[in-house]
Amino acid sequence: MTPYSAIPKMSRMTAEQAMHQALREEFQRDPDVMLMGEGVATKRRDLLDDFSAARVRNTPLAEAIIAGTAVGAAASGLRPVIDLLFAPFMTYAMDALVNSAGKLRYLSGGQFRFPLVAIGMTGGGWSVGGQHNHNLEAMFVHAPGLKVVMPAAPADFKGLLKAAIRDDNPVLFFADIGLLHEAGDVPEQDDFIVPIGRAAVRRVGDDVTLVAYAKTVNVCMQAAAQLEAEGIAAEVIDLRSLKPLDVDSVLNSVRKTGRLIIVHEASGLCGIAAELASLAATHAYASLRAPIIRLTGPDAPAAASWVLEQAAIPTVEAVAQASRDLVEFMPVSLSETNLCTPNHRSAGSQSCIY
């Protein structure tokens, strides 16, 4: 029995607004939560006014010390959130995030925990070029001790950010630039949380599994809508968290559909899609009715030119065509090479050459 008050009140807001609401609510809930970064006190003036200058701190443009300070503060009882602006700037913070936050709990035999969140924007959409747009999330997935999330829906921007702040481990929160101004329904209640490590099935279908995260979730949803008209039922899974990965959700779907396409904007080489393809090939082998396809960005820096930037992002048409190919796939009639022809992927995608 659900009491009326438990029915979530929803508000329409952008992903960016949802993140701000998450910060506000967590600031209110826990006095140990604090925010540091390049302009956080400037841009989030209401947090500065309503809480304190001690908890909302502008910093020098010095990512290494921002992240290092967060690590030291986190180990000492605070819950810092750091805004490093653009994901590529995180490479300046690698020592603190990877060597300190990710390893010193383990190397100290469990003496410390590092409840911190590092936020970075990335992805095509603003024509900012490769030093501001670099989907490097898989680099952090490869680092032990870190968690990595990358939401698609505004509600998940809020729920995952709140979960990340409450988590006792360092969490990398990647915000897809192309989604920040997209609006969606977001639950208003303070205790709304999206658990880290749980994927969401966005659409149910029996014929092919489309796995994506961040902006390519919408790409897959549009492709699935097209495919429905053709009689192909695609299941769309939004990973939301990249580490831990919700492997069971993906495998359960693959066991049902027998066909798997993984789609992301990040480069394919040693990426999330490669990992999922390997897991599916190992654990759902008997269910597979066709080869696994990865549709990804290329092994190239992001270009600023709108046309080139967009060419690096897997397209609706590429996902739809790959889905048709898998549904029509006959082991004797279609060679592996056919699955790698350019019309199966976005113009810039190199996914099949690996």
Report, as residue numbers or ranges, the catalytic residues. 63, 132
Q: Smallest distance, Å, CB 24 to another protein? A: 20
Is residue 248 close enough to count as binding another protein by CB under 8 A? no
> Which of 162/264 has CB closer to another protein?
162
Query: What is the residue-wise DSSP string for 152-209?
Result: -SHHHHHHHHHHHHH-SS-EEEEEEGGGTT-EEEEE--TT----TT--EEEE--SSEE
> Coil, helix or strand for 60?
coil
Is residue 75 close enough to count as binding another protein by CB under 8 A? yes
> Which of 94/304 has CB closer to another protein?
94
99 backbone dihedrals φ, ψ, rounded to 5° = -80, -35
Residue 316 Cα distances to 26, 144, 271, 304, 313, angstroms: 37, 34, 20, 21, 10
Report the residue from 17, 69, 249, 351 that binds another protein according to the rule CB under 8 A.
69
Number of residues that bind another protein (CB under 8 A): 43
- Pull the structure tokens for residue 226: 């097209």
Residue in the structure block whose two tokens are 């988590």: 167
Per-residue interface string for the shown chain with another protein, residues 166-205, x marking contact by CB under 8 A: --xx------------------------------------
| Window contacting another protein (CB under 8 A); options: 66-74, 184-192, 286-294, 323-331 | 66-74
Interatomic CA distance for residues 257 and 219, integer angstroms: 19
Interatomic CA distance for residues 211 and 239, integer angstroms: 7
Of 243, 180, 190, whose CA–CA distance to 19 is shortest?
180
Is residue 353 close enough to count as binding another protein by CB under 8 A? no
Q: Smallest distance, Å, CB 9 to another protein? A: 33
> At residue 51, what is the residue type?
F
Q: Smallest distance, Å, CB 36 to another protein? A: 9
Report the residue from 1, 2, 5, 60 that binds another protein according to the rule CB under 8 A.
60
> In DSSP terms, which residues pair with 81 in a beta bridge?
35, 117
Per-residue interface string for the shown chain with another protein, residues 78-117, x marking contact by CB under 8 A: x-x--------------xx--xx---xxxxxxxxxxxx--
Positive or negative, the Cα torsion across 199, 201, 205, 211? negative
Q: Smallest distance, Å, CB 66 to another protein? A: 9
User: Which residues make up the interface to another protein (CB under 8 A)?
Assistant: 32, 34, 54, 57, 59-60, 62, 64-65, 67-78, 80, 95-96, 99-100, 104-115, 144-145, 147, 168-169
